Amino acid sequence: MGVVPVQDGGLCLTEPCWNYDECLTVLKFGNASNFISSNSVFFRPIYPVTTNACRCPKGFTGMQKSYECDTEVDLCYSSPCGHHGTCMPREGGYTCLCLPGYTGVNCEVNMLSGHCVDGVCRHGSHCTSIRSATSAMLSSMPRSLASRLPSTTSLETGGFTCSNCTRSLYHTSTCELRARRFAKGSFLTFPALKQRHRMLLKISFATRTSDGLLLYNGRYNDKHDFISLEIVDGAVVFSFNLGDDTTRVAASLPHGVDDGDWHTVTVDYLHRVVTVSIDDCDTAVAVGHGDRVGGYYCANTTTKQLPPRCASHRATCNRFLDLTGPLQVGGLPSLPEGRRVQQQDFFGCIADLYIDHKFIDLNSCPSSMRLAMSIAHSNSVEFTL
């Protein structure tokens, strides 16, 4: 078990900075008193003051004046993913969607013809060059059988694989874990989401329970910003709070999402507009004409409206997500304070979590509590990935 770094928002929770400026809690020293000195000691007390500072974060700039921080930069512009991946911009960065056989942040690791790279194989799996693996296989074969194999079997071109990775159905090619089973009291904890104005969440799940908590990020109280994705009465409900009241949006299937089959929910959040869709829903039809085509509610959208005074960018308003707690997947710990969500647990399996197109390794969580360690398989529900 590791430690989840969680930043306390402190003074920054009121969004004191303009535009896209990032608020930082800083410690300053002021009002120093006079020196106290003697023949052997020279001492001056200082008084620390906690305050905040504004900084234009990576991925943003000022279009007219550098200090305005009013423009988001497309960090895919320089094609950082090269020829082996597709670049998807995200807040403050980008995500590379790699072609099969390629991995790495910029798809720079070639598993088909490259060499082993430190750290590329995860969770105790071993990076093994295909050539040496093939040589070992050949040496263990009877010579008469090995001699009948085509000469290309030696694979002189290279390449590697992650060996010693069991349960490969639920692992990626680099042995990252795709799926987990959750029960009452189990959850995964990840560092807080840093996204403030845009994020794309994608998560698959299978359950036969009509209520559950898929994920939550925010403090464990009833005051501050949070997001949550719940299953409520067989429907999917996404909630978010920018610092005052909570906005909710729900999407559903005719027979509920609690039918034991795998379903995939996509949450697209951009500047207080959120769209939730389930599986391969035609979002435009569901959002615009759902009630006229026989109750087609597999997608829905809503907008958090700001008060008119917020039209001035100098007005202090709650415009952004400031998620200061940890990201919880599959449940919340039992806490005495009030909760913002109806559900606290999830019963079933969660798989293939993506945040801004980036795959989240469900084995990489620094902290997990009473987690059902079994992989996505249950006697009560038949799962197929």
3-state secondary structure of 247: strand
Q: Which one, 212 or 243, has the nearer CB to Ca ion?
A: 243
269-305: b or e for each residue (b if 16 or more CB lie within 10 Å)? beebebbbbbbebebeebbeebeeeeebbbbbbbebe
**Residue 248 and residue 238: Cα distance in Å, rounded?**
6
Residue nearest to Ca ion (CB): 243
Place of tokens 């959040």: 269
**Residue 355 and residue 4: Cα distance in Å, rounded?**
18
Q: Which one, 53 or 285, has the nearer CB to Ca ion?
A: 53
- Minimum separation from the CB atom of position 113 to Ca ion (A): 48
- Minimum separation from the CB atom of position 320 to Ca ion (A): 5
Q: How is residue 130 annotated by DSSP?
A: H
- Minimum separation from the CB atom of position 232 to Ca ion (A): 24
- Minimum separation from the CB atom of position 15 to Ca ion (A): 5
Q: Which one, 231 or 242, has the nearer CB to Ca ion?
A: 242
- Minimum separation from the CB atom of position 254 to Ca ion (A): 36
Q: Which one, 18 or 354, has the nearer CB to Ca ion?
A: 18
Residues of the chain by 3-state class (helix, strand, coil), percent to 5 = 10, 35, 55
- Minimum separation from the CB atom of position 368 to Ca ion (A): 28
Write out the H or E segment, with its range, that includes residue 26: strand 22-30
Binding region for Ca ion (CB under 5 A): 225, 242-243, 318, 320, 322
- Minimum separation from the CB atom of position 192 to Ca ion (A): 13
**Residue 228 and residue 276: Cα distance in Å, rounded?**
12
Q: Which one, 311 or 373, has the nearer CB to Ca ion?
A: 311
202: its two tokens = 């994608």
> Do the Cβ atoms of 314 and 18 come closer than 8 Å?
yes
At 10, phi and psi to the nearest 5? 55, -130
| C-alpha closest to that of 251 among 261, 270, 240, 266 | 266
Half-sphere exposure of 150 (CA within 13 A, CB side): 4
Q: Which one, 180 or 319, has the nearer CB to Ca ion?
A: 319
Q: Which one, 111 or 317, has the nearer CB to Ca ion?
A: 317
Q: Which one, 196 or 263, has the nearer CB to Ca ion?
A: 196
- Minimum separation from the CB atom of position 243 to Ca ion (A): 4
